[in-house]
Chain A
Amino acid sequence: MDNGLKLGVFLCDCGGTLSKVTDFSAIKAKLQKLSDVTYVGISHDLCLKRAQQAMQKDIKDKGINRVVVAACSPELHENDFMNVVQSAGVNRHLLSMANIREQCFWAHPDKGKAAKKAMTQIGMAINRARFLEPVEQTQISVNKDVLVIGGGITGIQAAIELSNLNLKTTLVEKEATLGGKLNRFANLYPVQVSPEEVLATKLKQVAESQNIYVLTSAELIDVSGEVGNFSARIKRGNGEFVRNFGAIIFATGYTTQFSSQIYGLELSNNIITQSQLEEMLKSSSEVKQIPKSVCFVTDISDEHSRVSPLSALRNALGIKEKFRGEVCVLCQNLKVDGAGLEKLYRDCRNKGVLFIKFDNSPRISKQDGKIKIEVEDVLMSGEQVTLPCDLLVVEETSVPPLDSKVLGSTLYMGLDAQGFYQENNVHLYPTASNREGIFFAGNCHADLDLMQALTDASNVALSAYQLLAQGKIAVEAEKVMVDPNKCRFCLTCIRACPHHAIQEAKVNHEKMVAQIADLACQGCGICAVVCPAKAIKPKDWSDEQILAEFELLGEYV
């Protein structure tokens, strides 16, 4: 069945160690009997440059058009061998490997059985080689503009760093002014610089840079298209407009919400939330009656977030500095796992802030305008402590902003259990989303303090730069291909694709079919399996290749 197939098999006995276990020339002899195997080479160290040049020469001279390499694990040198095949003028995907070292000779001490298995593995690789298909490389030009959603400190920092990397950025902010939480916080402890100062320097940098185009009181409505050319519909005032971008960065942060029923009490003039306290601290000069004793309560409605204990520590120190009243903080587990937090915790204690740890939450009651708190102080072996105080600051749970849910579904982006962006998966950390070209930074996807949010900003800046800087991306064209004639457009693949890389497209301008965007596709092959019409074929892992590997089941060659 010689349809122009010329197989070249290259065996490597890994510095002679594998030859001690089996006779490579016997394997060579058996392989040469196969009709479409034109060349079998044995080498001692295919992983080194020297042997690879020899291999390249053999491929060219013998006119080999399918290469089989039986050596160590493909995870190590598959890329090098693909480069060798390419440099010999053959398409780099026409390579099939047999892992006879890690998964054969190293794992099976019995020499006879290992030799037989190696032969089978090589046989399977040859069968697979017969169904290999070439995949061409193409360049796709991409739009170099980046869209940053959210004008808080993270969004601003990301825009600044993108402009340092010569990328044009559009910064969209829902409110009328930039700054987000910076406008609200009274101080940024443990960072020793004031929010006003930080905002001023950052806004100056934004103004000076010509690469940043700021769009305040504007909102992202919808996005279509794929990485490299997203078209984003943005609403501003009552007008809407569409603009194209290469990458999108979400830095929409978090909102806080006070849940009165969990606390069992309503806000009033002497029961306020952290944000109200921060306003008071910011305009501390006009505060008429200075509270003599202030009490913070955390870890009741939001036990595992870093945001509310951090704001408790910050504001406790702020009160001590501004009002010098008695300050007491009630919490279950004080979160100090951030840079400088333990030091901040110690500074608070040195300034006289009292910390009480509880296991069952305190009972808070109001008697003639005064607040009374009864709590069992765990560190005093559960002794009942009653604290009168004239100002109680309660905790706010940090929750995702409202549009996370909406945008999460319209843009097919996975959310985590609490509804923040980015599913809980190690491969997505630190800033990736399930879709290529969409990134998350700051508290919109994880519970971060200021320094970690700024680290996210540099990460997304570099990710966007790496993606778009050259203006074009080299990609393997149609590595997973939809056959338009067979596609019934039943939308199963579009719904199943975890990276939303499949869009609908018109073919010869009337029939609707599914089309895979090569840039967004990550090659997992899920679509090929779910397609009820077998219309999708991944060229590197096609069904024929996988089924061909079963041919040798039962008989060891």
Chain B
Amino acid sequence: MIVAERKPLEDIREMIAGYKKILIVGCGTCVTICWAGGEKEVAVLSSQLRLASKKDGNELEILEATIERQCEKELVEALKDKVQQVEAVLSMGCGAGVQPIAEIFPDMPVYPALNTTFVGMPEGEGVWVETCRACGDCFLDKTGGICPIVRCAKGLLNGPCGGTNNGKCEIDSEKDCAWTLIYRRLEQQGRLDAMRKYYPPRNFQAVIRPGKVETLPA
């Protein structure tokens, strides 16, 4: 899922300085699951903004809305009546949520409240880690399901660099060296020949950015 993190409050306050009435839009899918932009966090952010504006003596009215997915045209259009009442929209969706709103309401300034960080999974309660970089040329079949492009700092395709330090990565003694993990996994499955093969340089342009996927009609 897409993982995001809320921006610090003063950055957000700078963006919406001067507006009297704004709409904060939450997104009900990925950012809810990673506790960043769900209905709860929308309420917390609006409460903080109201507190701050009251403290500074300027007037601020906030409308709140959380839709199922911000990256869906029809769902964003449903916000029309609320958007018309406000001067600016603060989106708590990931990057792929802020832009549809900006596109569908072109004359309305739309601001991001979150920093989208990576595609990942939960590691513990309230902790998420990156597991996929969406490189467009998946390599997982060759490494027993451990992605070296994400989990190896240098993204090597051909076995460990000289910097493996007791199974940990040279640059961070907390992080495991991806290729040590891959070696153990392949050894366990008896598929070490996958690691012995030579892999040519990666096609960095497998997906011409910004990517586009066109599937044949279902």
On A, residues with C-beta under 8 Å from B are: 486, 488, 490, 492, 495-496, 531-534
Can you report 19 residue pairs joining A to B where beta carbons are below 8 Å apart? A488-B28, A488-B32, A488-B33, A488-B38, A490-B32, A492-B35, A492-B125, A495-B125, A531-B40, A532-B32, A532-B33, A532-B38, A532-B40, A532-B41, A533-B28, A533-B66, A534-B38, A534-B39, A534-B40
CA distance A488 to B28 in the complex (A): 7
Write the nearest CB–CB distance from A538 to chain B, whole angstroms.
15
Interface string of B7-44 (1 = CB under 8 A from A): 00000000000000000000011001101001111010
Apart from A496-B125, A532-B33, A532-B38, 20 more pairs, CB < 8 Å: A486-B28, A486-B39, A488-B28, A488-B29, A488-B33, A488-B38, A490-B32, A490-B33, A492-B125, A531-B40, A532-B32, A532-B39, A532-B41, A533-B28, A533-B32, A533-B38, A533-B66, A534-B38, A534-B40, A534-B43
CA distance A534 to B29 in the complex (A): 13
A490: nearest residue on chain B (CB-CB)? Answer: B33
The number of residue pairs between A and B whose CB atoms lie closer than 8 Å in the complex comes to 31
B39: nearest residue on chain A (CB-CB)? Answer: A534
Write the nearest CB–CB distance from B26 to chain A, whole angstroms.
9
Residues of B within 8 A of A486 (CB): 28, 39
CA distance A32 to B186 in the complex (A): 78
Residues of B within 8 A of A490 (CB): 32-33
- Measured as residues with beta carbon below 8 angstroms from the partner, the interface class of chain B is 10 to 19
CA distance A531 to B66 in the complex (A): 14
A535: nearest residue on chain B (CB-CB)? Answer: B39
CA distance A214 to B187 in the complex (A): 45
Residues of A within 8 A of B33 (CB): 488, 490, 532
- Is the beta-carbon distance between B39 and A533 smaller than 8 angstroms? yes
Residues of B within 8 A of A492 (CB): 35, 125
B33: nearest residue on chain A (CB-CB)? Answer: A490
Write the nearest CB–CB distance from B36 to chain A, whole angstroms.
8
Residues of B within 8 A of A531 (CB): 40
CA distance A533 to B28 in the complex (A): 7
Within 8 A of A (CB), among B142-182: none
A485: nearest residue on chain B (CB-CB)? Answer: B68
A534: nearest residue on chain B (CB-CB)? Answer: B39
Within 8 A of A (CB), among B68-102: none
A543: nearest residue on chain B (CB-CB)? Answer: B43
Residues of B within 8 A of A532 (CB): 32-33, 35, 38-41
Residues of A within 8 A of B66 (CB): 533
Max chain B Cβ within 10 angstroms of own Cβ: one of A486, A492, A496, A534: A534
Residues of B within 8 A of A534 (CB): 38-40, 43
CA distance A495 to B126 in the complex (A): 11
CA distance A486 to B66 in the complex (A): 10
Residues of A within 8 A of B38 (CB): 488, 532-534
Residues of A within 8 A of B35 (CB): 492, 532
CA distance A496 to B125 in the complex (A): 9
B35: nearest residue on chain A (CB-CB)? Answer: A532
CA distance A495 to B124 in the complex (A): 10
Interface string of B52-67 (1 = CB under 8 A from A): 0000000000000010
Residues of A within 8 A of B40 (CB): 531-534
CA distance A488 to B33 in the complex (A): 7
Write the nearest CB–CB distance from B206 to chain A, whole angstroms.
31
Write the nearest CB–CB distance from A496 to chain B, whole angstroms.
7
Max chain B Cβ within 10 angstroms of own Cβ: one of A531, A532, A533, A534: A532
